[in-house]
Chains A and B, each alone.
Chain A
Amino acid sequence: MSMVGLEVNGRLVSKDVPDNMLLAEFLRDSLGLTGTHVGCDTTQCGCCIVLVDGVSVKSCTVLVANAKDSRVVTVEGLSDGVHLHPIQEAFIEHHALQCGFCTPGMMMSAVDLINRHARVLTPEEVRSEMEGNLCRCTGYHNIVKAIVAASEKMHAR
Chain B
Amino acid sequence: MSPMTYHRPTTLGQAKELSQTLENAVFMSGGHTLLPAMKQDLATPDHVIDLSHIGELEAIRVDSNDLIIGAMSTHVQVATSKIVQELIPALAGLAGSIGDRQVRQRGTIGGSVANNDPAADYPSAVLGLGGTIITNLREIRADDFFVGLFETALEPFEIIIAIRFPTPLSAGYAKFKSPAARYPQAGVFIARFEGSVRVAVTGAGQSGVYRLVQLEKTLLESFVDGAAANLEISTENLIEDMYATKDYRANLVRMMTSHALKHMGTISIFK
Asked whether any CB of chain B lies closer than 8 Å to the CB of A113, the reply is: yes
Give the Cβ gap from A34 to chain B, nearest Cβ, in Å: 20
Q: Is the CB of B105 within 8 A of A57?
A: yes
Contact: B32 with A61, CB < 8 Å? yes
Residue from A49, A61, A66 in contact with B36 in the complex, judged by beta carbons closer than 8 Å: A61
Interface residues on B, range: 20 to 34
When A20-B3, A20-B4, A65-B6 are in contact, do A131 and B100 touch as well, CB less than 8 Å?
yes
Interface string of A1-32 (1 = CB under 8 A from B): 01000000000000000111010000000000
Q: Known interface pairs A46-B102, A61-B31, A131-B101. Does A41 touch B6 (Cβ–Cβ under 8 Å)?
A: no
Query: In the complex, are the beta carbons of A42 and B36 less than 8 A apart?
Result: yes
- Residue A78 is within 8 A (CB to CB) of chain B in the complex: no
Interface residues of A in 28-47 (CB under 8 A from B): 41-44, 46
Residues in chain B near residue A44, CB distance under 8 A = 181-182
Residue A55 is within 8 A (CB to CB) of chain B in the complex: yes
Tell yes or no: B139 within 8 A of A by CB.
no
Q: A109 at the A/B interface (Cβ < 8 Å)?
A: yes
Q: Is the beta-carbon distance between B6 and A43 smaller than 8 angstroms?
A: no
List of A residues within 8 angstroms of B36 by Cβ: 42-43, 61
Taking the complex as formed, is A74 at the interface, i.e. its CB lies under 8 A from any CB of chain B?
no
Is B149 an interface residue when CB atoms closer than 8 A count as contact?
A: no
Considering the chains assembled together, what is the distance between the CA atoms of A131 and B180 in angstroms? 10
Q: With A43-B36, A61-B36 given, is the CB distance from A56 to B6 under 8 Å?
A: no
CB of B16 within 8 A of chain A? no
Evaluate contact between B102 and A57: CB separation under 8 angstroms: yes
- Report if A66-B1 is in contact (Cβ < 8 Å); known contacts: A57-B102, A109-B102: no
When each residue 5-38 of chain B gets 1 if its CB lies under 8 Å from chain A and 0 otherwise, what string results? 1101000000000000000000000011001101
CB contacts under 8 Å to A, within B55-110, are 99-103, 105-106
Chain B residue with Cβ nearest A116: B101
**Inter-chain CB contacts under 8 Å: number:** 72
**Given contacts A43-B32, A66-B31, A57 and B4 within 8 Å (CB-CB):** no
- Chain A: CB-nearest residue to B50: A66
Q: Is B138 an interface residue (CB 8 A)?
A: no
Q: Which of A18, A22, A58, A66 has the most CB of B within 10 A?
A: A66
Please give the distance in Å from A7's CB to the nearest CB on chain B. Answer: 18
How many chain A residues touch B (Cβ–Cβ < 8 Å)?
28
Return chain A residues, CB-CB under 8 Å to B99.
132
Asked whether B39 is an interface residue with its Cβ less than 8 Å from the other chain, the reply is yes
Q: What residue in chain B is nearest A18 (Cβ atoms)?
A: B3
Q: Which residues of B contact A43 (CB under 8 A)?
A: 32, 35-36, 103
Per-position contact with A for B103-120: 1 when CB-CB < 8 Å, else 0? 101100000000000000
B52 within 8 A of A: yes
Question: What is the CA–CA distance of A57 and B181 in the complex, to the nearest angstrom?
Answer: 18
When distances are taken between beta carbons in the complex, the residues of chain A under 8 Å from B230 are none
Q: Does B2 contact A (CB under 8 A)?
A: yes
- With the chains together, A69 CA to B154 CA distance in Å? 33
CB neighbours (8 Å) of A18 from chain B are 3
Q: Is the CB of B39 within 8 A of A132?
A: no
CB pair A20 B1 closer than 8 Å: yes
Contact of B102 among A19, A41, A49, A66 (CB under 8 A): A49
**Which residues of chain A (66-84) have a CB below 8 Å from chain B?**
66, 68
Q: Is A93 in contact with chain B by the CB < 8 A criterion?
A: no
The 7 closest A-B pairs by CB, nearest first: A132-B100, A19-B6, A65-B6, A131-B100, A20-B1, A132-B102, A58-B102
Q: A57-B102, A66-B6 are in contact. List 20 more A-B contacts (CB 8 A).
A: A20-B1, A20-B2, A20-B6, A22-B39, A43-B35, A43-B36, A44-B181, A44-B182, A46-B100, A46-B102, A61-B31, A61-B35, A62-B106, A63-B6, A68-B8, A113-B101, A129-B101, A131-B101, A131-B182, A132-B100
- Chain A residues in contact with chain B, CB under 8 A? 2, 18-20, 22, 41-44, 46, 49, 55-58, 61-63, 65-66, 68, 109, 112-113, 129-132
